[in-house]
Structure 1
Amino acid sequence: MLRVGRITGAHGLKGALRFRPDNPDSDTLEQVKRVFLKCDGEQREFRLAGMTPLNATTRRITLDGIADINAAEALKGAVVMLADEDVPPAKPREFYYYEAIGCEVFLTDGSRLGAIQEIFSNGAQDIWVVRDGEREVLVPVIEDVVKAIDLPARRVTIEPIPGLLD
C-alpha cells in the first residue's frame, strides 16, 4: 500500500471529504478508481466517485457509501492509501518517494554517505534525509547535486555542493 494523504474532515452535508494529499502536485489520485482508508486500526476500501481541488493543498473527494456529514466526520484523520497494483507507473525521469527510501547514497568519489530514510519537500525542491548511524545529511534533489539514480540497484550518486557535508 502507498500512502497518498489523509482526510482532514467533512466538506458540506452530503458526505464529501476534505483530503490533504502528501504531494499536492501529484495527479496520481485522479488516475485511480479505488482508495483504501485506514482509520482506528481498520482498513476499508472505497470507490472514488469524484475529486475537485479546493485550494493548493486540499481536495474535495467523494466516496461511494459515504453519503452524509456523520459518516464523513467519522473518517476524519484517516490515512488514504492506494494498492500497489493501482499506482500508475512513474513518468520518465520521475519516481515515487517510496521507491527511493532505503537507497544507498554515494559521493562521486565512491565513498558512502548513508541511506535515504525520509523525503520531504521544502517548497522549492525535494529533500532527502540521508542517515548513517547518528550522522544526518539533508540532500537537495537538484541537478547540481544528484548525478545518478539507479532504483533497481538501490543506489544514488551525488556531488556535494559546498557546505552540504559540514
Structure 2
Amino acid sequence: MGDRSNPEFLVVGHISKPHGIRGEVVVHPLTDHPEGAFAPGVVLLLSARDGAPDPAAPPLRVEGARAANRGWLVRFGGIRDRNDAERYRGRDLLRPLADLEPLDEGEVFYHQLLGLEVFHGGEESLGRVREVYEMQPADLLEVAGPRGVLLIPFRKEIVTSVDVEAGRMTIDPPPGLLEL
C-alpha cells in the first residue's frame, strides 16, 4: 500500500537566489501557509542532497519576511550580506512536521496521498497514487494500475472521498476522463 507515515520534516520552501546586498534571499514557497512558515522567530533547517536535514548547516531563524512578486523575500539571522546569502542558493528549507499548523478538516498532506488505492465508483480499482504534481489550474494525481498510468485532477468535483487511514480514495470522473 505504500508508506504514508509522516516524515519528521517537510520542505516548506526553496531558496532560489540572494536579493539585494543585505543578506535577504528569494524563497519559492512550497507550502499553503507561507505566512506561518516564514514568520519571524520560526527556525528552519537546510536540507542535504538526500532530503534530510543537513547536519553541517546551522539552523536558520527567520528575522523577517514579506511576499514578493515571485515568492517571499526572507531575512535569516546570521546572513548579513549578499556573499553570505549566495551560499544558500538552490537549497531547500525544512520545518519539523510537529511545528506546522494543524490541518483543517478534510485537508491532507500530499505525501499522505502516495500509495492510496483509487476506486472509480467505489468498486473498480484504478490503481495506486504514484505521484502528485502541483499544476495549474488543478494538481494532478498520477495513478498506476490495470488501465496503465492515469492522470486524475485532484479536485473536489472528481475526488469524492479520501480515507488516509483506510488507504483509499474514491473518484467520480466526468465522462471520457479515464479514456484519455
Same-fold call, TM > 0.5?
Answer: yes
Task: Name the counterpart of 1:137.
Answer: 150
Bigger Cα displacement from structure 2, 107-116 vs 2-11:
107-116
Q: Does 1:92 align with 2:105?
A: yes
CA distance in 2, matches of 1:49, 1:133: 51
Structure 1, unmatched stretches of 5+, are none
CA deviation string 1:30-69 (max 9, x = no partner): 46711111256635321122210111x4110111111111
Equivalent-residue separation in structure 1 for 2:107 and 2:38 (angstroms): 17
RMSD: 2.2
- Stretch of structure 1 that moved more, 109-118 or 132-141: 132-141
Extract structure 1 runs of 4+ deviating beyond 6 A.
none
Any stretches of 5+ residues in structure 2 without a counterpart?
A: 1-8
Shift of 1:93: 2.5
- Cα 1:50–1:102, aligned 2, differ >3 Å: closer, same or farther? farther
For the Cα contact (< 8 Å) 2:126–2:147, is it kept in 1?
A: no
Determine if the alignment matches structure 1 residue 101 to structure 2 residue 114. Answer: yes
SS of 1:85's partner is helix
TM-score after normalising by structure 2: 0.81
Mapping 1:9-88, distance limit 5 Å:
9-23=17-31, 25-27=32-34, 28-30=36-38, 33-39=42-48, 42-43=54-55, 44=57, 45-55=59-69, 57-88=70-101
TM-score of the superposition, structure 1-length normalised? 0.87
Contact 1:54 1:60 in 2 (8 A): yes
SS at match of 1:75: coil
